[in-house]
Structure 1
Amino acid sequence: MPPAPPPAPTSGDSPDAPPEVLTEGALGRALLMAVLASGAALRIHWALNDEGLYWPDEVYQSLEPAHRLVFGYGLVAWEFVEGARNWALPGLVAGVLGLARLFGGTNPAVYLDVIKGFFALLGVATAWGSWRLARAYGASELAATAGASLFALAAVPIYFAPRALSENASALPVVLGLALALPRGSSRRAVLAGASLLGLAVLLRLQNGVFCVGLLGVLVAQRRWRAAGESLAVLAGWAFAYGLLDRLTWGRWFHSARVYLDFNILRDGASAWGTAPFSYYGRVFFQGMPAVALLTGGLALLAARRAPGLLAVTALFFLLHALQPHKELRFLVPALPLFAALAGVGLDAVLASWPPRFARVAAMGVVAVATVSGAKAGSLTFGDVGQYEDSRPGASAWDDSGDVNRLLLAASRRQDLCGLKIEVVHLAWTGGYSYLHQPVPLYPHNGPPRGSGLYSHVITLPGYAPGEVVAQSGPLVLSRLREGCVPDPGYAWRLP
């Protein structure tokens, strides 16, 4: 029997490949490095130059409980009173915070930058995961890179990137898990590793269970019975880990999942923070990055023939969130790298019949659209990201409450601080003890009066600061009212 013929060379991998294929492969790799480096630079820039909040969850469901784990004190939100969240995300943030502390990063200005930088770089890794997912579905390096740029360089993903949110933490295991487990040609080891990553994603954010159900559904639809059974066993193991974590921390198996689902599904409690119509996500994505939204959506649809399972799973996640009354743009962050990967696959399907020269121009055009979006990220308003649409849609989405947080950082350096009141904003829209980093009472705007003597400093407006102004940020000041404080034995660490 004659020997089997050697495998066909892949783009750019064989020295015998035609020069034009070599050029395309080299261009794809060089462009990928440039896209990831640019995405990292934009994310790190905003991580170091924004002290604002998009929503209190980025502090009180991650930074603040992590601060309590590492340093022993912090404000406690209702979710960590009733147990509506598990401790996976705070544990992850506490690990980063603990490493920063181990290497001398006990100054909040330092460890906060480390945490934000960590999440920013996690976003860069997620962009690479988007490229990897597109490649798993046969997209060329150039087309996959162009698709990944729609996540790496686009304005909305850049805006959310540095924030310590469960959506950001779980996006990477979601995209890598699907890249490993979903394509038909995946090995048994890849399927098991992918299912495990999806299980981890659920541990970080419960809603990612939709991707697990989607994976099993696709495997069954493809009649990959063994892969479906083994994936189910792996996911069951992660479900056990989820329940065990709740048992160890809250005292009851799956306690956080039960409380969360009861509050959000049975009681529709999240609607108290606002509701929006089915069209919300499509409209807001178009407002925040119109060219990227149109391009991503159109190219993703063109991937339907080559990646029907991936498109179905991504569409299911989108649809279920669009059907929920309470909507926030961040909820779809785990799906954004999937849409970008689909765009890469769709682009490759189009470019396959084009001459190489025109294909390269088209791919570079996609990257250019994403680059322009990222360059304009600094002009995003709250209306562009779907937040506070009824109250201040034209306000900048960046550095909201940043002045308060910078004054909290200034207060953290005061040796004469024995208590602090923030008079200008609700405590939920501040950085809390993660920024203050002193175990002294922190009072809300409706807290005890100045005459109580319970606090020595106040964050307020200049005209309402009778004491010594010791720091200023924007229109706000940190004012020293007195020396010493009256002890407050009844001080509660509960976030009001």
Structure 2
Amino acid sequence: MENLRARLKFGNKDEVVKLRRRKSQLYSKEDKSLLNGALGLVAFRLINCFLVQTSFVPDEYWQALEVAHHMVFNYGNLTWEWKAGLRGFTYPLFFAFLYKILHLLNYDSVHLLIWLPRVAQAVLAAFADVKFFLLFRTIETHDVARWTFFCHLCSWFSWFCCTRTLTNSTETILTCLALYYFPLPGSKTHSSKKYLSLVALAVIVRPTALIVWFPLLIYHFCQEEHKLRLVTHNYVPIGTLAVVISALIDCLFYEKWTLVQFNFLKFNVLHGVAEFYGSHPWHWYFTQGFPVVIGPHLPLFLHGCTLAFRKYKILLGAVVWTLVVYSFLPHKEFRFIYPVLPFCMVFCGTSLAHMKAWRRAAAASLVASNLVLALYTGLVHQRGVLDAMGHVRALCDVSRNSSVPQPDVLFLMPCHSTPFYSHVHCPLQMRFLECPPDLGDQGYFDEADRFYDDPLLWLRTSFPYKSSLPTHLVLFDILEKEISTFLQGNGFKRTAAMFHTHVPEGRVGGRIFIYERH
């Protein structure tokens, strides 16, 4: 391409015309190749989307789809966070927009409500994949860029998470997009306004995105020649605008002045509410969390760190910083560190690019091991709660018939184990065991804890008369024996059983049963 430019500059008129035509053809081929690659990635992520049929964590429904369903269709259940002003409406507003379109077109079938948000997430993930590849193609050799992208697409955890309606998934997508415009060494696509706008959006979606980006923002500040201009023309105005837009959206839906970023910090850090959902030892991210998330890539990552440490020390620093900061918080989850996973891929790609004799074997091993994990976690592990909602959904047809007793479903499971109205889409009578954290309110109690302390006593006191009993019960198999006398005494018969997981733990069983009262 450089030779073409030189000849265009110094050649005669006929040669210039020919060379310009050749240059146009080259660009045309490159654009066509890029378009085909982008379409291929969309197809890949759509396949990814439809091969993930399991549940991960309640937030993918309760902090996104359930809220959107309530916004558009005016019925459903909002968790305590939405009543306390802890969550922002900007993220579920995206799904509410999709739901509203379906509603206006009269295409709001339950299957479209379930899958359209996932498909939208898959398309966004594919767009982030394209930007990820283009970034490293410009700053790395062809070999390193190719293997970095190969490692990125191979990741089982990205496959498992990227098409889910989790704030962590969108945070990771926005992080990949922002990285494209970030001033990494050798980058030709740097744009402060673009990357800072994407970072600001990520923080609106999930305030903890600031943890990941803090060292990168400091790095940019230190590298920038015009520091004052960077702060006054970019950092301050973009950050302020993001806070104002977020506050206006939240004030509109909360119908009062609400700053969710402040509430998020107050509840999770100052009041330690996050610890209510479980705590782990300080070293958990280093000994379990990160090794599981990066999976079979770990040896390549460690090897790549020794090779690319100097060039990408800021990315490695961001990974370590994020793990350290999250280690200070008592409540830990795998998904919290998902946004740093793309940073790790350049080290894995560098490792593979430097392998000669063992490259093919290492690549084949990487594909095989990640494929097994991706398919198992996407199609098998924790699928029962979604299958159960299919059975509950069938009761909607009964509820539309006013001449028969109306179904009443009670979920005797750890709270928020299943999706809710976003996966049923009819005003069916449903309830579950409530478990809000102790916020210092008078008369506080955890309904789920009270139930599991003595299930039979709770059932007998909650339903003293047969007329008050629900028509259907949804429960994990480990509870069946303990409440068998209640089930038999009140005429409940098992009508459905479905597999959930091979590794039952605590209150979560391996199978889910549905009982109906006759």
Deviation at 1:336, TM superposition (A): 1.3
Deviations 1:206-238 (A, max 9, x none): 111234433431122113324454331323322
Counterpart pick for 1:80 among 76, 79, 82:
82
- Cα distance change, pair 403–164 in 1 and its aligned pair in 2 (3 A): same
Partner of 1:442, secondary structure, is strand
Counterpart pick for 2:71 among 50, 69, 74:
69
Return the structure number with greater relative CO, CA threshold 8 A, min gap 6.
1
Partner of 2:125, secondary structure, is helix
Deviations 1:45-79 (A, max 9, x none): 323xx2x4322111111111111011111111011
> Does the 8 A contact of 1:407 with 1:473 survive in 2?
no
> Does the 8 A contact of 1:59 with 1:164 survive in 2?
yes
Counterpart pick for 1:336 among 328, 338, 341:
341
Partner of 1:84, secondary structure, is coil
CA distance in 1, matches of 2:178, 2:332: 25
Structure 2 match to 1:489: none
Structure 1 match to 2:368: 372
Structure 1 match to 2:392: 408
Structure 2 match to 1:321: 326
Counterpart pick for 1:418 among 406, 413, 427:
406
- Residue pairs, 1:101-120, within 5 angstroms: 101-120=103-122
Structure 1 match to 2:11: none
CA distance in 2, matches of 1:83, 1:182: 36
Deviation at 1:473, TM superposition (A): 4.6
Higher alpha-carbon deviation: 209-218 or 332-341: 209-218
Deviation at 1:260, TM superposition (A): 1.3
Partner of 2:409, secondary structure, is strand
- Residue pairs, 1:198-277, within 5 angstroms: 198-225=199-226, 226-232=229-235, 233-250=237-254, 255-277=259-281
**Amino acid across the alignment from 1:74:** G
Structure 2 match to 1:451: 466
**Amino acid across the alignment from 1:126:** A
> Does the 8 A contact of 2:293 with 2:338 survive in 1?
no
Deviations 1:444-485 (A, max 9, x none): 366753723475544468984847887665565656647xxx
Higher Rg: 2
- Unaligned regions of 5+ residues in structure 2, if any? 9-19, 24-29, 434-450, 452-458, 500-510
Structure 1 match to 2:99: 97
> Does the 8 A contact of 1:181 with 1:191 survive in 2?
yes
- Cα distance change, pair 213–423 in 1 and its aligned pair in 2 (3 A): closer
- Cα distance change, pair 274–470 in 1 and its aligned pair in 2 (3 A): closer
- Unaligned regions of 5+ residues in structure 1, if any? 8-13, 18-24, 383-394, 483-496
Deviation at 1:134, TM superposition (A): 2.4
CA distance in 1, matches of 2:363, 2:101: 36
Partner of 1:429, secondary structure, is coil
Higher alpha-carbon deviation: 271-280 or 98-107: 98-107
TM-score normalized with structure 2 length: 0.73
Structure 1 match to 2:503: none
Partner of 1:376, secondary structure, is helix
Structure 1 match to 2:418: 430
- Cα distance change, pair 254–70 in 1 and its aligned pair in 2 (3 A): closer
Structure 2 match to 1:126: 128
Higher alpha-carbon deviation: 271-280 or 88-97: 271-280
Deviation at 1:329, TM superposition (A): 0.4
> Does the 8 A contact of 2:279 with 2:330 survive in 1?
yes
- Residue pairs, 1:277-292, within 5 angstroms: 277-282=281-286, 283-287=288-292, 290-292=295-297
**Amino acid across the alignment from 2:408:** L
Question: Percentage identity across aligned positions?
Answer: 19
**Amino acid across the alignment from 2:220:** L
State the number of aligned residues: 443
> Does the 8 A contact of 1:182 with 1:218 survive in 2?
no
Deviation at 1:400, TM superposition (A): 4.4
CA distance in 1, matches of 2:164, 2:87: 18
> Does the 8 A contact of 1:147 with 1:340 survive in 2?
yes
- Cα distance change, pair 478–312 in 1 and its aligned pair in 2 (3 A): closer
Structure 1 match to 2:383: 399
CA distance in 2, matches of 1:366, 1:413: 53
CA distance in 2, matches of 1:467, 1:290: 44
**Amino acid across the alignment from 1:452:** S
Deviations 1:243-290 (A, max 9, x none): 333333335655212221111111222112222234323424434664
> Does the 8 A contact of 1:149 with 1:370 survive in 2?
no
CA distance in 2, matches of 1:34, 1:102: 29
Partner of 1:68, secondary structure, is helix
